[in-house]
Structure 1
Amino acid sequence: MAGTTQELKDITIAFDVMGSDHGPEEVVRGAAQLSIEAPHIHALLVGDRELIDAALADTKHRAEQISVQHAPDFVGMDEKPGEALARKKNASVAVAAQLVADGEAQALVSAGNTGAGVLACARHFKLIPGVRRAALAAVYPTRGTRGEKQDPFSLILDVGATVEATAEDLVAFAVMGSAYARIISRNERPKVALLSNGVEPQKGPPRVVDAHAKLSSMEGIHFVGNVEGVEIPKGTVDVIVTDGFVGNVCLKMLEGVHETVMDLARYAYKEKLRWRAGLAMLSSGIQRIKDITDWEQYGGAPILGFDRIFIKAHGRSKARAITNAGKVAAKAVAHQLGTTIQEGLAK
């Protein structure tokens, strides 16, 4: 792995406390729990100081591992990111991004407005050399583990940051996704594939065909060719590369799988006794679906391509998800994700 692993005691994570669906309390509780579970990680809480102090007063934490930076404003979920950040110079996500850019913290975690988070990072962070556009990656559940992979999740990118990606963008996404999978999923040789309408190298639009040719000749990346959409939930590969439009459609479909299954189960349970018996027999399988679609386990999704780490937690994140997002961010910093990506692109 590239670079020297940074000591965890040197890592500070800036948390955008405001703007999530559950308000600042859950973010503060998550950071407080992080201070107990990972006492060598410092949490810098950015938001309304009065609200943060009130939440900390009711939450067990290691006071020496937590500090507060006052930021009176925040960007709401329903606000337009550009307009909101222009009006609110001291919005918590913007202040947090600036603190990371200034070296006061090494990574940013936010459960707030995704667009505002990406825009704040674009304004304060730099793109890694060789990256033209940053990518929003999403962790999604698969049917199980494979080979060296130590978790049931895979990665798809981009899922919304770059709607129209060029062949060069897709190649960069592949390198970034591979580096992230190696570090976070502890998968030394992640399988990387392009999403297309056929497995043949010539299938897909020109940018996909061109990216296929480029990736096939690259060293340091385990490129296995094209995959079709049916392979996504099977976990055939570890990293799936596509543009932001297609990726976002796939992500929304995956997010609906668990909700649909559970709705059907609830309906069946109410209808007939024998269906209840059937559901009892399937209960372990349904629980498995719940487990692997539980996004709180992996905390959040990375924005890849910047020289600083940004983990975007789900807007509905509660304390456990925030804690795990902090751990993922610290892991990415400790293993120098940015350096790994830059070296991969240089190859």
Structure 2
Amino acid sequence: MLGPTIAFDAMGGDFAPTEVVRAAARLSLESTLQVVLVGDEPILSGLLAQSRHNPERIAVHHASQAIGMGEIPAIALERKSDASIAVAAKLVADGVADALVTAGNTGAAVLACRQSMRLLPGVKRAALASVFPTERRRGGKSDPFSLILDVGAGLEATAEDLVTFAELGSAYARVISRNPMPRVALLSTGTEEEKGPDEVVEAHRLLRTLPGIDFVGNIEGLDIPRGVADVVVTNGFVGNVVIKMLEGVSETVLELARYAYKERLLWRMGITMLSGGIRQLKRVTDWQQYGGAPILGFDRVVIKAHGRSREQALVNAGKVAAKAVVANLTGAMGGQAAWPEDDVRMAAEG
């Protein structure tokens, strides 16, 4: 059986389009997914010719323009109506594809989706989520990740926005992480309910009595890697700073280990003894392993991959997108009906 159709913004990302095409080629051979590569057709077709792939599972949809990582989203989309991210978002909105994957300009991705797709009922602002590795959760849950949102779809958020982010994140954790009752927390400057800016205090009051949400209160930044919450809610400015700081810390630890290994025999012996733990740290902090994270709030599945994504990360991002489609993520959030295939297990595994 054929899996969902994933539209890739083939021109988005630091290593596009080469790495995007390689990922699509792999998916066409290793999964049941259908892939639509959106971008400059002559370039994409030339790259496909250099990669082993299944032509029956890959299509190329021409888009004559691309938006760079450093461009201002609103200005770029206004000037480049045929940009690959805009065309890809429109294909998904029109039902030509089931989900969108992009490693490109985050702001342009959010704005392109806003122009083509609908927000879910009750949602005023989309949220960009990110996952971060944590300690093993209480209760024996095996999923070692927390979902943090918003991390950059917008800068500010009202109390109502924060409550909506909590609902969206909780639904995503239930569907994708198969966590029946994810613990939700607000990121603040202290655990007391009166701590934080006005919108956080008000969101705390609203979430405390919201049915269907396991709200555990406020947490501080140090609680994120401890796995105190499964879903961490904040505004885009704070969330973006937090996730980049956490990512930088893990990369620094690994770099220090490499430096110590090279410098002294005694240090090398110590690092060798710790090698198992260091490999584990690298595995769980490697964003390429989970591929991408969702932009939540739209009536279609949108996965934002890291801007530095290469083939493996993009392959995994495609699989995450497919899993969200077959699990009817948007339906769980109050959006469109389920993907119309009975045997979703095969597609999800593909």
1:25 maps onto 2:18 in alignment: yes
Q: Report the secondary structure of 1:32's partner residue.
A: helix
Q: Report the secondary structure of 1:306's partner residue.
A: coil
Matched with 1:278 is: 270
Partners of 2:13 and 2:155 lie apart in 1 by: 25
Q: Report the secondary structure of 1:342's partner residue.
A: coil
Partners of 2:136 and 2:45 lie apart in 1 by: 42
How many Å apart are 1:270 and its aligned residue?
Answer: 3.1
When the two chains are superposed, the root-mean-square deviation of aligned CA atoms in Å is 1.6
TM-score, normalised by the number of residues in structure 1: 0.92
Matched with 1:46 is: 38
Matched with 2:190 is: 198
Matched with 2:209 is: 217
Among 136, 156, 166, which residue is 1:164 paired with?
156
How many Å apart are 1:100 and its aligned residue?
Answer: 0.9
On the 8 A contact 1:150/1:185 being kept in 2, the answer is: no
Q: Report the secondary structure of 1:327's partner residue.
A: helix
Partners of 1:28 and 1:216 lie apart in 2 by: 46
Partners of 1:229 and 1:262 lie apart in 2 by: 21
On the 8 A contact 2:155/2:237 being kept in 1, the answer is: yes
Alignment of 1:177-196 (within 5 A): 177-196=169-188
1:93 maps onto 2:94 in alignment: no
1:35 maps onto 2:41 in alignment: no
Alignment of 1:98-117 (within 5 A): 98-117=90-109
How many Å apart are 1:287 and its aligned residue?
Answer: 0.9
How many Å apart are 1:45 and its aligned residue?
Answer: 0.8
Partners of 1:188 and 1:214 lie apart in 2 by: 22
Note the alpha carbon deviations across 1:31-77, whole angstroms, 9 max, x for none: 121222221x2111101111211222222222211111011210011
Partners of 2:43 and 2:135 lie apart in 1 by: 41
Seq. identity, %: 62
Among 204, 219, 229, which residue is 1:237 paired with?
229
On the 8 A contact 1:148/1:186 being kept in 2, the answer is: no
How many Å apart are 1:10 and its aligned residue?
Answer: 5.7
Structure 2: tracts of 5 or more residues without a match: 336-350
How many Å apart are 1:145 and its aligned residue?
Answer: 5.0
On the 8 A contact 2:175/2:332 being kept in 1, the answer is: no
How many Å apart are 1:111 and its aligned residue?
Answer: 0.9
Q: Which amino acid aligns with 2:312?
A: R
Among 116, 122, 138, which residue is 2:130 paired with?
138
Matched with 1:63 is: 55
On the 8 A contact 1:265/1:279 being kept in 2, the answer is: yes
Q: Which amino acid aligns with 1:31?
A: A
Q: Which amino acid aligns with 1:249?
A: V
Matched with 1:4 is: none
Partners of 2:174 and 2:116 lie apart in 1 by: 27
- Change in CA separation of 1:74 and 1:282 when aligned onto 2, cut-off 3 Å: same
Structure 1: tracts of 5 or more residues without a match: 1-7
How many Å apart are 1:88 and its aligned residue?
Answer: 1.4
Partners of 2:23 and 2:116 lie apart in 1 by: 25
Alignment of 1:281-296 (within 5 A): 281-296=273-288
Matched with 2:341 is: none
On the 8 A contact 1:130/1:342 being kept in 2, the answer is: no
Partners of 2:265 and 2:4 lie apart in 1 by: 55
Partners of 1:144 and 1:287 lie apart in 2 by: 17
- Change in CA separation of 1:147 and 1:42 when aligned onto 2, cut-off 3 Å: farther
On the 8 A contact 1:155/1:177 being kept in 2, the answer is: yes
TM-score, normalised by the number of residues in structure 2: 0.92
Q: Which amino acid aligns with 1:327?
A: K
On the 8 A contact 2:3/2:322 being kept in 1, the answer is: no
Partners of 2:202 and 2:30 lie apart in 1 by: 46
Matched with 1:308 is: 300
Matched with 2:342 is: none
Q: Which amino acid aligns with 1:42?
A: Q
Q: Report the secondary structure of 2:76's partner residue.
A: helix
Q: How many residues align?
A: 335
Q: Which has the higher contact order (CA 8 A, sep 6+)?
A: 1
Matched with 1:331 is: 323
